[in-house]
């Protein structure tokens, strides 16, 4: 049984995908997809010994040794040519770590048709990396699970250049088009956080004008979007 967050990620995996789940921990996600007969083969990559042992225990318990392969490896090094991986999931990490993993493993992405990413934070930078590396965002979700808000991004390689503006990079090009209550709540609270930071800087008479301008520019972007129809 997957958490609401992981189930939402799993729902985006195409039928019969050859899946690599990077940073898989207990391998719950690929195991659930195999149990549901939605996929037939998966690699569960882990860089840390403890989570790697968790994976192996889960795989042995479910007797999935032939179709769910645990690999102790850093990032996309877990993927081997013979796996014929076409779908990569990286979930439950910061956006900058996901970006780093993608950036260092670019040679492993050649045959990959679907990237399913669930950054806990740092979505802007991740979208920017996707754009700069010719990945188009095909689907985005914002969901709440156990008191946290999560974004999920499905991206696919694009022949044509991909261009997103600052607003689209920050809010998500598709999330921007379907703003709902959760979207408002997320960005209201982010606006509050930025206002607080700016007040603190003013009080402390901070001379860091560059930082102030950055925060203010982000705040203005947010106000321009959530201020619209309210
Ligand atoms: N993907 C699962 C999920 O979404 O529930 C587990 C998320 S867990 C918070 C993050 C996992 O990523 C940890 O088990 C950690 O060891 C692993 N990890 C972090 N950096 C990694 C890397 N460079 N390569 C592979 N795994 C990594």
Structure ipTM: 0.99
58 close to ligand 1 (CB < 6 Angstrom): no
Q: Is the CB of 51 under 6 A from ligand 1?
A: yes
Give the residue whose CA is nearest to atom 14 of ligand 1: 25
Shared domain for 9 and 46, answered yes or no, is yes
Rounded Cα distance, 174 and 133, in Å = 19
19 lies in the same domain as 95: yes
Over residues 51-73, mean pLDDT: 98
31 with 119, same domain? yes
- Which of the two residues, 101 and 229, has the higher pLDDT score? 101
pLDDT at 1: 87
Q: pLDDT, tens digit, for every residue of 41-58?
A: 999 999 999 999 999 999
Tell me what pLDDT residue 227 has: 76
For 83-119, b/e burial (b = at least 16 CB within 10 A) is: bebebbbbbbbebebbbebbeebeebbeebebbbbbb
Task: Please indicate, yes or no, if residue 18 is contained in any of the structural domains.
Answer: yes
Mean pLDDT, rounded, for 29-47? 98
Q: How far is the CA of 65 from the centre of ligand 1 (A)?
A: 21
Task: Confirm whether 169 is domain-assigned.
Answer: no
Is any ligand 1 atom within 6 A of the Cβ of residue 170? Answer: no
Ligand 1 lined by 45 (C-beta under 6 Å): yes
Model confidence band, residue 228 (pLDDT cutoffs 50, 70, 90): low
CA of 203 to the centre of ligand 1 (A): 39
Asked if 218 and 132 sit in the same domain, the reply is no
Residues 134 and 208 in one domain: no
Domain shared by 92 and 186, yes or no: no
């603190």: which residue's tokens? 200
Give the 3-state secondary structure of 46-98. Answer: ECCHHHHHHHHHHHHHHCCCCCEEEEECCHHHHCCHHHCCCEEEEEEECHHHH
Stronger pLDDT, 25 or 228, i.e. the higher one:
25
Q: What six digits make up the tokens of 49?
A: 């010994």
175-201 confidence digits (pLDDT tens): 999 999 999 999 999 999 999 999 999
Are 29 and 79 members of one domain?
yes
Atom number, ligand 1, closest to the C-alpha of residue 75: 24
Q: How far apart are CA 13 and CA 190, in angstroms?
A: 30
Please report, for the domain that includes residue 111, its CATH number.
3.40.50.150
Among the three residues 162, 195, 212, which one is the final residue of a domain in this structure? 162
At residue 26, the pLDDT reads 97
| Confidence check: pLDDT of 67 > 60 | yes
Domain that holds residue 51: 4-162
**Percent of residues, the chain, with pLDDT higher than 90:** 98
pLDDT averaged over every residue in the chain = 96
38, part of any domain: yes
Q: Is 93 in the pocket of ligand 1 (CB under 6 A)?
A: yes
Residues 28, 75, single domain; the answer is yes
The finding on whether 55 has its CB within 6 A of some atom of ligand 1 is: no
Digit-coded pLDDT (tens) for 90-131: 999 999 999 999 999 999 999 999 999 999 999 999 999 999
Instruction: Pick the residue whose CA is nearest to atom 8 on ligand 1.
Output: 92
Tally of structural domains, the chain: 2
Inform me whether the pLDDT recorded for 230 exceeds 60.
no
Q: Would the pTM count as exceeding 0.90? A: yes
Q: Are residues 153 and 58 in the same domain?
A: yes
């Amino acid at each position: 049984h997957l958490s609401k967050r992981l189930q939402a990620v799993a729902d985006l995996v195409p039928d019969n995908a050859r899946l690599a789940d990077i940073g898989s921990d207990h391998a719950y996600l690929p195991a659930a997809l195999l149990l549901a007969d939605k996929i037939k083969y998966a690699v569960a990559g882990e860089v840390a010994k403890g989570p790697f042992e968790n994976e192996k225990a889960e795989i042995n318990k479910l007797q999935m040794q032939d179709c769910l392969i645990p690999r102790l490896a850093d990032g996309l090094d877990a993927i081997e040519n013979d796996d014929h991986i076409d779908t990569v999931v990286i979930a439950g990490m910061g956006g900058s770590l996901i970006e780093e993993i993608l950036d260092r493993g670019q040679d492993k992405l050649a045959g990959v048709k679907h990237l399913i990413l669930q950054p806990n934070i740092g979505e802007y930078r991740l979208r920017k990396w996707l754009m700069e590396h010719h990945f188009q965002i095909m689907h985005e979700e914002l969901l709440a699970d156990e008191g946290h808000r999560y974004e999920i991004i499905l991206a696919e390689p694009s022949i044509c250049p991909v261009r997103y503006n600052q607003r689209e990079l920050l809010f998500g090009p598709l999330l921007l088009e379907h703003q709902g209550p959760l979207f408002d709540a997320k960005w209201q609270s982010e606006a509050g956080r930025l206002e607080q930071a700016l007040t603190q800087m003013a009080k402390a008479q901070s001379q860091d004008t560059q930082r102030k301008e950055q925060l203010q520019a982000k705040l203005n972007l947010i106000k321009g979007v959530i201020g619209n129809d309210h």
